[in-house]
Amino acid sequence: MDASEGLAIVNRMVETVALSDDADPGSSTTPKETSPTDMLRLKQQMSNQCFEMEVQLNAGKNKRSCSASEAERELPDFMSELEEAKVVHFNSTLALHRMQMWHA
């Protein structure tokens, strides 16, 4: 995948998000308040979309074979990265639940 194909994918994703978020812009005359829960949800969605785009852009770059010894050497790094992702997810969920309880 070259850079132009990657940009085309990113442009399609941005258009999809823009079209799905802009259902009827002229229906309301007052600006709508965004709750902290909605902001956290949007932040998580944007993070997921960025991750998916990065994976798609790097899909062609990381096609290499890996020996067993190399895989064993890199396993602790991947495990620590996985643990870090679990902690981030737990903290995000905890913050969301606290905000939901606060505003309940």
Question: What confidence tens digit (pLDDT) does each residue in 17-61 have?
Answer: 655 655 555 555 555 777 888 888 888 999 899 898 888 888 766
The amino acid present at 47, given as its one-letter code, is S
Q: Of 99, 12, 95, 101, which Cα lies nearest the Cα of 53? A: 12
92 part of a folded domain? yes
> What are phi and psi for residue 26, nearest 5 degrees?
-95, 5
Residues 104, 102: Cα–Cα separation, whole Å: 6
98 part of a folded domain? yes
Tens of pLDDT, residues 50-65: 898 888 888 766 666 6
85 part of a folded domain? yes
Q: Please tell me the number of Cα atoms within 13 Å of 26 on its side-chain side.
A: 0
Residues 98, 104: Cα–Cα separation, whole Å: 10
> Taking the model in full, what pTM does it have?
0.37
**How many domains is the chain built from?**
1
19 part of a folded domain? no
